[in-house]
Chains A and B, each alone.
Chain A
Amino acid sequence: MSNLIIAPVVLPAVLAPFILMVIRHHLDLQRIFSMAGSIALVCISLVLTHQASGGEIQVYELGDWPAPFGIVLVLDRLSALMVLLTSVLGLCVNLYVISTDWDKRGEHFHPLFQFQLMGVCGAFLTGDAFNLFVFFEVLLIASYGLMIHGGGADRLRAGMQYVVYNLLGSTLFLFALGTIYAVTGTLNMADLAVRIAELPADDTALIRVGAVLLLLVFCIKAAVLPLHFWLPGSYANAPAPVAALFAIMTKVGAYSILRMYTLVFGPELALSAGLVGQWLLPAALLTLAVGMVGILGSRDISKLAVFAAIGSMGTLLIAIALFTPLATGAAIYYIVHSTLATAMIFLVSDLIIERRGKEIKPAPRMAQNGLISALFFVAAIALAGMPPLSGFLGKLMVLQASTGTPHQTLIWSVILIFSLVAIIGFARAGSLIFWKTTDPMEDLDLEEVQVAPLQTQGTVMVFVPIFALLFGLVALTIFAEQAIEYANATAEQLFDTSAYIDAVLGETAK
């Protein structure tokens, strides 16, 4: 039993109070410790991913209590990959926040940031459904603080909506867990899987209710269509780097769906066969459609980024909803791609907002117009799923996985048509922002407004995290073979539930 598994949870959990209580008044020290923590987290998660890539499932028993009685953390390929993704994203966002002084605009950015990382890593590692709820709450509490970071009337009101909606989601989560516990008497995921498989066939009504309630909760987190309406308002009003970090939070929902509905309510179980995919697939198709149309229709740049995020969740959820090992492999590849791409568009949009305001309309040329437009172009290619970058491969894998399923024509046409819509949307926004610039001499007022921020925003450091994300996307394309291999191995491991159950419950059974 390696103690390293709990490090992604413990490290931020120790660092955050330290930053909050000891070095609260020294911003430079805060930055140093926060960066050091982020770098350490990346190193830890690299080691963990290396350990998990062999295919062995490691279990960490908290307090050394055996599995169904105590809480366990489980490290398999999927959770290791997600923790790695979180830590890399965290490092990029942290770098961006420091280089743009976002952390000066309000207090306690870094402690909240570390708590957020702790919650996300914990949610990915835990092997216990109630603990999943607790880590959801940890990451949500931190996200409430980050969401209203910097203040302002609009942001606070959007934050209020966000908090209320997520509190409702948490309540629903508890109702779902209560229902499941009432039927099975356990909340350990592996133990749940065993007990649900043993349930008598005519006694499944209540557990089905629990499964659907749980799906609703995860769909709220993943911003699936009928439940997505909290996302545009809150992400568009959140500070852009925070929204970039939140790119991983919708993935927490997607991850939970993958985990619970392969392991506990597996597709081959009689009680849950077709229960999830049947509902999730149309919702995912609609999510994709609304996201891509939203890109075309949005009038400000932060809304554009938000709808791009929703659209990429749509593609991801289509792959998840198919629930075959091939499609799940595609989904895992696409999770990595869409997290990096979404974070990138949020950071690029922040650069644009800082230089020329939110609205997509002609305005004077901004500083570094060429570089930013190139980055926007790359992010747009990635999100629309155009050839050179990994989005294209991911989309291709999703299309490939859907061949032969009953809804093949529908899935193909929705993905292809709305990719086109997304391209048009990005092209429209890009040409308005970068090409249709007005002459600054025409309007002296505007010039005065624009010149001041330009000088402060000229640092090269700002571009480092964006290029790092871009580098991730390119690497994902160049090393596609290895990445796809890992994704498919992960999917295989997910569908081979007996290995997971043995790893978690094995020692108790002996």
Chain B
Amino acid sequence: MEFLVSSAVAVLTSCGVYLILRQRTFPVILGLSLLSYAVNIFLFSTGRLVQNLPAILDKYGEGIYTDPLPQALVLTAIVISFGMTALVVMIALSAYLTSETDKIDMTETTDEGDSA
């Protein structure tokens, strides 16, 4: 399972980074989503990987449980990344509609580029 989870994080991260470097809005948004999946899986695994254990402290049970905190962290991160994805789609759409290009870099409109 460790191999599966870590390779999933690796594959998602590398695909995400590749897509972000494409410099067109749609691949970049896809890449950001993949990256956020990768980070969610990564966060999920930070509490150690275990199987078939409850995520809460069972007062009367055996006392074996999986760490609930990463799940709370992942939940927050998922909510935030959903909101961010929706926002970035809206901004990308309006940027595309007003400037009629979906390139991320701004060399066409500004004469000096990004400086330094």
Q: Is the CB of A168 within 8 A of B104?
A: no
A91, CB-defined interface residue at 8 Å: no
B45-59 residues at the A interface, CB under 8 angstroms: 45-47
- Tally B residues with Cβ within 8 Å of A: 39
B77, CB-defined interface residue at 8 Å: yes
A161-189 residues at the B interface, CB under 8 angstroms: 161, 163-164, 167-168, 170-171, 174-175, 177-179, 181-182, 185, 187
Q: Is the CB of A156 within 8 A of B94?
A: yes
Q: A152-B98, A157-B99 are in contact. Are A233 and B114 (CB under 8 A)?
A: yes
A354, CB-defined interface residue at 8 Å: no
**Of A154, A171, A294, which contacts B115 at CB under 8 A?**
A294
Q: A interface, how many residues as a size bin?
A: 35 or more
Q: In the complex, A159 Cα to B106 Cα: how many Å?
A: 11
Q: Is the CB of B80 within 8 A of A156?
A: no
Q: Is the CB of B73 within 8 A of A290?
A: no
Q: In the complex, A137 Cα to B36 Cα: how many Å?
A: 14
A208-262 residues at the B interface, CB under 8 angstroms: 228-229, 232-233
**Of A175, A185, A294, which contacts B116 at CB under 8 A?**
A294
Q: List B contacts of A177 (CB < 8 A).
A: 43, 73
Q: List B contacts of A137 (CB < 8 A).
A: 80, 84
B65, CB-defined interface residue at 8 Å: no
Residues of B within 8 A of A (CB): 20, 25, 28, 32, 35-36, 38-39, 42-43, 45-47, 67, 69-70, 73, 76-77, 80, 83-84, 87-88, 91-92, 94-95, 98-99, 104-106, 109-110, 112, 114-116
**Known pairs A130-B76, A154-B110, A163-B84 / 7 extra A-B pairs, C-beta < 8 Å:** A141-B84, A141-B87, A153-B98, A154-B99, A157-B106, A161-B106, A182-B47
Residues of A within 8 A of B (CB): 130, 134, 137, 141, 144, 148, 151-154, 156-161, 163-164, 167-168, 170-171, 174-175, 177-179, 181-182, 185, 187, 228-229, 232-233, 290, 294, 299, 303, 307
